[in-house]
Structure 1
């Protein structure tokens, strides 16, 4: 028979409630930062991939570790049930809010960085930048990694609940050897992913030498908050080191990224640049506005195919600087490359 007794720990419950509020508040500056800037420049797609996979593994680890407590909700009161599974809600919240960064990253990916551009010299006119339907490598990588995250969480959920459905569970805290092994795998993989999660972001930020869309206020809240996060998880019943180790490692790595961003922001402002590396007071903000619209002459519309081929060569490192005989891209096809820009339009690209 299962023994389901309410577990009351006022200190742990208060800390978990505080952490849930703190987690939500800490992620909001990053979400707002991307939305208000209408740009996600500065993020490494590998950082988002590893972070999404790490947080998903951590969430499923605590579900496995506390599965007996979840099943006890059938006989516990609503309040006792919520109190018992508050730790699960806490880690699920981390995963949802982090994945929201990935969603906003894809929605607000800078349009000028999505497709290859060709410099075209027209007779008696200044050079113009013509976009092509050929995706840049970074944009293609971002789309691919987004799908990897989707299939990763789908696979982990399938394996987790398949094992949970076969767990005999003679007691609320009993786990079969298979479940123990799976929970350890989830916890250790979450820790390893968290350890490597910040490495590509740190390298990317070091390479571009500016903050971009990264939110310093979010990191200022989350870096010291990692200590409380680890403590709040460790105090929950049924958890062990595999459940909280990933958040300890992530907190330390995030501290390194925070220091880098503070240094780069100070450097940029000293040079009169904003967080995206642009002049704070651009003197010629409209100087290139005439380059926005591609030409639509009959000669331009006659040679679309060759332009795309030259852009594909450009993507693989071939110089495609064009002269007056270079075929251009029609405005009609340029519009075709912009279709499906809705909330989930990038999934179709």
Structure 2
């Protein structure tokens, strides 16, 4: 317990002399994390479907976030900061706990994505049947949610048990959680990259979210590294990895969106050209009912001859409704 007491004294002295630049940056990152997830939440709700989002991306992201949040909670430096709140001022305590708040907000926002993914999961085949992308079932979505819940309960149970019975092992447990979070985060975007590549579009995945989070991941990693030092590599290393992989997914999504926009513009141009093509322009001298008889164009001032049913007579007293193989036509042609 003596080393931890020394750590508390050291952390308390640092909290009593906060860096206002780091404080402002931490608040900015906290708000940025919250705002960055709002476009993703809105896109799923607005589209009414979570189509295009890989369930394995949700599974790995949620479990990685759970490990990351538990990591910073049981980290000795974080526990020392919490212990210092008994001796430092409220402002200094709040400033010292901003790192924990950042990870907590990130975990909460991603958990909301998990809930929206489950609520708006497409029950029917939204994708075309000729696509090569595998369509996941409702059972897959429910299984992902159950695994995330069980994983969270196990992490909480182990953390609390070690905190009560073996507090000296919490540092090792924090490193284990950090490694798990890093590994899960490293492969988190691989299923989503594959899903987006297979679909050829981003679906319900939000590009504005990735535009904010990709550079923000590197800024966040730098802020946590400055706060936790090299000893906290298991915490800030996660966001370096996720920033790189999310950047790859962002680049792919932008390429697909640009292609889709060009295709839509080309399609609208072709439709407008066809609508003004001469073959679609109706001669004003033709009958107003839209009936067009090939080879028949009445001259100005002339009255079109009609049959008993009111249809125009083309030739030999035959109307447009007369079958082409009518016997009367053959007889008329046989008469000299």
TM-score of the two chains, using structure 1 as the length reference: 0.67
Task: Provide Cα deviations, 1:201-222, integer angstroms capped at 9, x if missing partner.
Answer: 0011111111100111110111
CA shift for structure 1 position 167: 5.2
2:193 aligns to what? 202
1:287 aligns to what? none
User: Are 2:69 and 1:69 aligned?
Assistant: no
1:139 aligns to what? 138
Q: CA separation in 1, counterparts of 2:242 and 2:248?
A: 10
Q: CA separation in 2, counterparts of 1:24 and 1:231?
A: 18
Q: CA separation in 1, counterparts of 2:80 and 2:161?
A: 15
Is the Cα contact below 8 Å between 2:121 and 2:141 reproduced in 1? no
Which one of 227, 237, 245 corresponds to residue 237 of structure 2? Answer: 245
Aligned residue for 1:213, secondary structure, equals coil
Q: CA separation in 2, counterparts of 1:143 and 1:91?
A: 25
CA shift for structure 1 position 74: 2.6
1:270 aligns to what? 262
Matches within 5 A, 1:38-49: 38-49=48-59
Matches within 5 A, 1:100-179: 100-113=112-125, 138-166=137-165, 176=168, 178-179=169-170
Q: CA separation in 2, counterparts of 1:138 and 1:249?
A: 30
1:14 aligns to what? 24
User: Are 2:33 and 1:23 aligned?
Assistant: yes
Which one of 64, 80, 84 corresponds to residue 96 of structure 2? Answer: 84
1:59 aligns to what? 69
Query: Given the superposition, is the C-alpha separation of residues 166 and 84 from structure 1 closer, same or farther in structure 2, using an over 3 Å criterion?
Result: farther
Q: CA separation in 2, counterparts of 1:213 and 1:148?
A: 23
Larger Rg, first or second structure (1 or 2): 2
Q: CA separation in 2, counterparts of 1:10 and 1:182?
A: 32
Matches within 5 A, 1:162-311: 162-166=161-165, 176=168, 178-237=169-228, 240-272=232-264
CA shift for structure 1 position 137: 5.1
Q: CA separation in 2, counterparts of 1:113 and 1:196?
A: 27
Q: CA separation in 1, counterparts of 2:202 and 2:142?
A: 23
Query: Given the superposition, is the C-alpha separation of residues 237 and 167 from structure 1 closer, same or farther in structure 2, using an over 3 Å criterion?
Result: farther
| Structure 2 stretches lacking a partner, 5+ long | 130-134, 272-336
Which range moves more in the overlay, 76-85 or 242-251? 76-85
Q: CA separation in 2, counterparts of 1:248 and 1:97?
A: 19
- RMSD, aligned CA: 2.4
Task: Provide Cα deviations, 1:73-119, integer angstroms capped at 9, x if missing partner.
Answer: 233332222111110000000000111111111111123249xx9xx
Runs of 4+ in 1 over 4 A off after TM superposition: none
CA shift for structure 1 position 60: 1.1
Is the Cα contact below 8 Å between 2:217 and 2:239 reproduced in 1? yes
Aligned residue for 1:40, secondary structure, equals coil
TM-score of the two chains, using structure 2 as the length reference: 0.69
